[in-house]
Each structure stands twice: as C-alpha cells, then as structure tokens.
Amino acid sequence: MTEDRRRLSATPAKTSQSQAMNAAVRILTHRDHSKYELKQKLQQRGFASEVIDTVIQECERLNYIDDKRTARIYISQLKKKRFGRRHIRMALKKKRLYGAAIETILLENYTKTEEGKNAGKLLEKKKKTFNREEDLKKRRDKMYRFLYSRGFDKDIIADLIRDSVK
C-alpha cells in the first residue's frame, strides 16, 4: 500500500498537449469559464503549466474562451437572481474577472436604474416578512441589511426604504 502512495505522488505531470486540449474542450462544453478557472481545472487534472498556457492560448485563438463573454453571461445570471452591482463585482473578482473592460461591461449590462428596479422587486417580495416587525426603526434596519447583503448600492437602498416605510 505504501508503494502505491509513492508511485502516485511521484507521477509526473501530464505533458500531452492533445490530452490537455481534449480536457479543456470537455470542460468548456458545460459552460463558459474564465481563463483563470480553466487553468485551475487543468492544473487539478495534473497537466504541466507550459502545456496549460499553450492550451489556453489555443482556446483563445479558437474563441473557446473569452473573459468578456464569460463576464456578460455571469452578470446576466446574477442579475436575474436579483443581486446588486456590488455583489456581482465581488463575484466577478472571485472568478478573476476584473479590470476596466469588465467594469465597463458591468456598467453597460446593469444600469443603476435596473439595479433600483431589482431592489424594489426584491423588497416587495419580502414585504410581508418585514411588516411583521412593529418597531419602525428595526424594520428599516432589517430592510437595509437585507438589501445591502444582496449587494445593492446604499443610495438605492435609502431611497427605497424612504419610499416604502412611512
């Protein structure tokens, strides 16, 4: 049993570029991935870093991976789930999607008006829950914390709370 462990730990990194390319294509058939995500998944599968870099360049050349396209899709998914721009920005950073180009895509695809509408719909959906609280200050605080945790802008939250709690 100890020989098996030694053999496994001494296994050299996979160096076949065609194997890595096949793995990358299989990974990308399920959903779009950022360059960072694809690199991580290929590293987990034991491919050498030089091979991974070559495969990523080839995938970019063939337009299999595109961080801007991935960002647009991910923003759209999170917008449908009614998250605010702050939350979406943090989620994009986790996927290593950031920079001026990604920020521009976020601002183009999720305007402040849309963010306000989403926050309003979310608040309306949770209105019953918030109205159980009789103390007005506590109710406002709960609404604020809820919307802030979903990533909405402080100004949007303040406007919505001012309009809904009178």
Per DSSP, the three-state class of 14 is strand
This prediction has a pTM of 0.79
Lookup: tokens for 130: 């918030």
**Residue 127: predicted pLDDT:** 87
Residue 71: pLDDT band by 50, 70, 90 thresholds? very high
Residue 21 contacts by C-beta under 8 Å, 6 or more apart in sequence?
Answer: 55, 58, 59
End-to-end CA gap in the chain: 71
Which residue type, as a one-letter code, is found at position 101?
A
Give the residue-averaged pLDDT of 98-127.
91
Percent of the chain with pLDDT over 70: 90
